[in-house]
Chain A
C-alpha cells in the first residue's frame, strides 16, 4: 500500500515537472547574459528586456494584442451575459440545441474555424483582414468560456430575488440593475479577464485573420526563425507569464468573492 502511494506521488511530481519546467526555463534564459539557449548560464543580465522595450515592431504587436484582447473581452462577455441570462431564466423552443451550437467552438478545431472564416470573409467582403476580423474570430471562441462562467453565476441566483425586487416596486430594468447586476458582477469581471487572456495568446485565428497586422503571438512566432531574436522572445514570454498569472489570480479572486458575498458554497472554479 505504501509503495503504491509513493509511485503515485512520483507520477504527480513528474507530471508537474513536465508541465511547468519549460515555463521556469523562460525567465532563466531571459535574464541570461548570452545569445545561445543552452546551459551553463553565463550570468545575470537585463539587456534582453531593454532590447525588448526598444523594439518598435514588438511594441506595435503588443498594442495590437491589447486592442484585440480588450475588444474581444467586452464583446464576448456582453454576448455571454445575454446568452447566459436567457438560458438560465427562460424556457424556449430548441434551447438545448441553440446552447449546444453556441458552446460548440469549445471543441471545434480552431484551424477549421480559422479557414472557414477566412474563406467567407475573403469571398464576401474582399481583403478586409485586420484587427476587426481577429476580434470577430476571438469573440467566437471566447464567448463559450464567458457563457460557462456567467451561467454558473446566474444559476446560483435565486429567482425569487428578482421577483422580490419586482414586488417591491421596481421595474424589470431597475431590478436587473439593482439586484442581478451586482450579484453577477464578480462573474462578469471573471469572464472579462478569462476572455482577455484567451485572446491574448491565441495564434491560429490571429495568424489567419490578421492580414498584415500581427498580434503578439504571431510576432513571436515570426521571430523564432531568427536565433538572435530568441533571448528577446524569452524576455517577452517571461512578461506574458507574469501577466497571465496575475490576471488568473484576479479573476479567481473575484469569483470567490462573488460566491462568498451571495452566501453560496464554493463548488469548483479554475483555481
Chain B
C-alpha cells in the first residue's frame, strides 16, 4: 500500500504540470466532471468535480441529505446523472449498468442474502466466473480468512451478528477484485467499540488489497481516522477536498470548520492586507498577525472572523512568563474528562466564552471555576475566515 500511495502522490504531482499529465500513470481512478443530479425539482448534486486517485482511501463526509450517498450510488451506477461525466479507470460510465462496472459496494444494511450460507454469499459474484469450482472454493476461503471469518463458510447468513455480516459483505465485494470498493456508511450499524475496531481493520484491509476505497460517512471522526483524503459535502456541493490534517487545521469555511471537530470563532476586523501578511483586530485577542496561508478560504467578502481549535490555545499558569500573544479572561466552566480538561473561558471584551482544552499532566492542576487566567497562542493557531 505504501507504494500505491506514493504512486498516487506522484500522480497528483504530475498532474500539476500539463505536459506530464498525459502519461497513463497520471490518470485518476475516478474522474467526476461537473456532475449534476436532479430528482424532479430537487437538485441533489450541484456540479461535483473531483479526481479520486488509484489506491486511495477517499471519504465523502457530510450531514444527512448532503448528497454523499447519491454521489456514491452515482459512481456505482444505481443512479443516472442528469448531466456531467463519470469516468472510472479512464472509461466513460454513461450507460454502463452496475453489474458491468469495475466497482463493488458494501451496503449500509450489508444486504447479506438471508437464504444462503456465508459461503454462498461470498461466492455469489463468482457465478459468471469461468474458473473451476475448486479454484472458486479456494478464492472464497481466501476471502473469508482475509476478513477474519475462516471456518464460518457453512453457517446460515441470517444467524450472523452485525459485525460478522459486515465482514461477509466485505468478503463478497472484494472477492471480485474490483478497481473501486464503495462503502455506504458501513460502520453506522455497529456499536462504538466494534466500530473503532472495524475502522482499524478496514484501513489494514485497504492497505492489503491496495484498491481504491470510497467511504460515505456522516461521522467526521471516522473520516479523519480512515481517509487519505476527504471531500466535505454540503447541499450537493463539495465544500472542501483535502487530506484530514489540512481539513482539520485549515478549513476553508466556518461551516467546514464547524462540521469537523470543534472550533471557536471570534469576531474580527481586517486592518491591513499587504502581500499575504494580514493584520487583524480580533475581539478578545487584540491585534494579531495572520499569514495568508492561515486564511485558506480566501476573501469572500463576508464579515471576518477568526477561528481556533480548543487545543491550539494554552492556559498560562502563574509563574509562566508573559508572551506578546496572550489575552486575559475568566474561567466560566470546567469539564473534567480524565485525560483532558475542557475550560470555557470568557475572554475580556467578548460575550461568548471560548472552549480551550488542556491535557492533564502531573504538576498541572485543574483550575477552578471563576478563576482569572491568561491564554496564549502560537502564530499558526488562528484561521481567518472572511
Contact: B128 with A169, CB < 8 Å? yes
User: Which of A168, A171, A262 has a CB less than 8 Å from the CB of B176?
Assistant: A168
Encoded as 1 (CB less than 8 Å from any A CB) or 0, chain B from 90 to 105 comes to 0000000111000111
> Which residue of chain A is the closest to B129 with respect to CB atoms?
A169
Judged by a CB distance under 8 angstroms, whether A99 is at the interface is no
Contact: B125 with A168, CB < 8 Å? yes
Beta-carbon contacts under 8 Å, B107-142 to A: 107-109, 111, 113-115, 124-125, 127-128
Contact: B127 with A169, CB < 8 Å? yes
The binding surface of chain A is classed by DSSP as helix
User: Which of A161, A166, A261 has a CB less than 8 Å from the CB of B98?
Assistant: A166
> B108 contacts which chain A residues (CB < 8 A)?
160
Contact: B158 with A263, CB < 8 Å? yes
> B109 contacts which chain A residues (CB < 8 A)?
158, 160
Encoded as 1 (CB less than 8 Å from any B CB) or 0, chain A from 142 to 154 comes to 0000000000000
Contact: A182 with B99, CB < 8 Å? no
Q: A168-B124, A170-B127 are in contact. Are A262 and B111 (CB under 8 A)?
A: no
Contact: B115 with A165, CB < 8 Å? no
Contact: B125 with A182, CB < 8 Å? no
Contact: A161 with B76, CB < 8 Å? no
What is the CB-to-nearest-CB distance from B74 to chain A, in angstroms, rounded to a whole number?
13
Contact: A167 with B158, CB < 8 Å? no
User: Which of B114, B124, B176 has a CB less than 8 Å from the CB of A263?
Assistant: B114
User: Which of B111, B115, B176 has a CB less than 8 Å from the CB of A169?
Assistant: B176
Contact: B115 with A167, CB < 8 Å? no
Complex Cα gap A198–B97 (Å): 43
> Which residue of chain B is the closest to A179 with respect to CB atoms?
B113
> B173 contacts which chain A residues (CB < 8 A)?
167-168
> B124 contacts which chain A residues (CB < 8 A)?
165, 168
Judged by a CB distance under 8 angstroms, whether B289 is at the interface is no
Q: A183-B115, A263-B114 are in contact. Are A163 and B125 (CB under 8 A)?
A: no
> Which residue of chain A is the closest to B78 with respect to CB atoms?
A163
Judged by a CB distance under 8 angstroms, whether A25 is at the interface is no
Residues of A at under 8 Å CB distance from B?
158, 160-161, 163-171, 179, 182-183, 261-263
> Which residue of chain B is the closest to A262 with respect to CB atoms?
B114
> B128 contacts which chain A residues (CB < 8 A)?
169
Contact: B158 with A168, CB < 8 Å? no
Contact: B98 with A167, CB < 8 Å? yes
Encoded as 1 (CB less than 8 Å from any A CB) or 0, chain B from 246 to 260 comes to 000000000000000
Contact: A183 with B78, CB < 8 Å? no
> A166 contacts which chain B residues (CB < 8 A)?
78, 97-99
Q: A168-B99, A171-B99, A261-B115 are in contact. Are A163 and B107 (CB under 8 A)?
A: yes
> Which residue of chain A is the closest to B178 with respect to CB atoms?
A167
Given contacts A161-B111, A166-B99, A167-B76, 5 further A-B contacts (CB under 8 A): A160-B108, A165-B124, A167-B103, A168-B124, A168-B173
> A179 contacts which chain B residues (CB < 8 A)?
113
What is the CB-to-nearest-CB distance from A52 to chain B, in angstroms, rounded to a whole number?
43
Q: A158-B109, A261-B158, A263-B158 are in contact. Are A167 and B114 (CB under 8 A)?
A: no
Complex Cα gap A171–B105 (Å): 16
> A169 contacts which chain B residues (CB < 8 A)?
99, 125, 127-128, 176
Judged by a CB distance under 8 angstroms, whether B346 is at the interface is no
6 CB-based A-B contacts, threshold 8 Å: A158-B111, A160-B111, A164-B105, A167-B78, A183-B115, A263-B158
Most chain B beta-carbon contacts within 10 A, residue among A164, A166, A171: A164
Most chain B beta-carbon contacts within 10 A, residue among A158, A167, A170: A167
Complex Cα gap A264–B114 (Å): 10
Complex Cα gap A160–B169 (Å): 12
Complex Cα gap A165–B176 (Å): 13
What is the CB-to-nearest-CB distance from B43 to chain A, in angstroms, rounded to a whole number?
19
Complex Cα gap A154–B385 (Å): 52
> Which residue of chain B is the closest to A263 with respect to CB atoms?
B158
Contact: B99 with A163, CB < 8 Å? no
What is the CB-to-nearest-CB distance from B325 to chain A, in angstroms, rounded to a whole number?
53
